[in-house]
Amino acid sequence: MSSTLDSLPPALAKIVQRFQRAADPKRRYEQLIWYAQKLNDFSEADKVPENKVPGCVSQVYVTAVLDDGKVVFQGDSDSQLTKGLVGLLVEGLNGLTPTEIVQLTPDFIQATGLNVSLTPSRANGFYNIFKTMQKKALECKLDLPN
């Protein structure tokens, strides 16, 4: 399991470790709510179809901009737990390059223990949010001048 942590970007590795210390599923949910509360306010103007995460039961929105070669995400959801998943990913992926984000695999969710706590639709939602963030990071990369 440590090899998984070693291969993760530092912010994401820290998040995984935080969840590993919360053995109780209730504590993991509390942790997710904390990440939801950490998210910056999301502009209503950004709640447009091109920022909507497909395949989620909840309404989930994600934006990405490139700042000095690093991706900066923002996100929101109408569900607190899903918003927590967005917050976790925003916290873990912000400040990485598009290439670093695209090369990540979502299997770190297993290391957090959340995969056993989440309902199948939320686990699927997590995967869809992650994939959307990768897609948006790639779009940022494609916008870079050669």
Catalytically active residues, by annotation? 56
d(CA 32, CA 97): 25
Question: Dihedral through CA 19, CA 22, CA 26, CA 30, nearest 10?
Answer: -60
Q: What tokens appear for 19 in the block?
A: 């969840």
Selection from 54, 102, 46 nearest residue 76 by Cα: 46
* Strand 70-77 with 60-67, pairing: antiparallel
What is the C-alpha to C-alpha distance for residues 8 and 26, in angstroms, rounded to an integer? Answer: 25
**Unique residue bearing structure tokens 């990913």:** 89
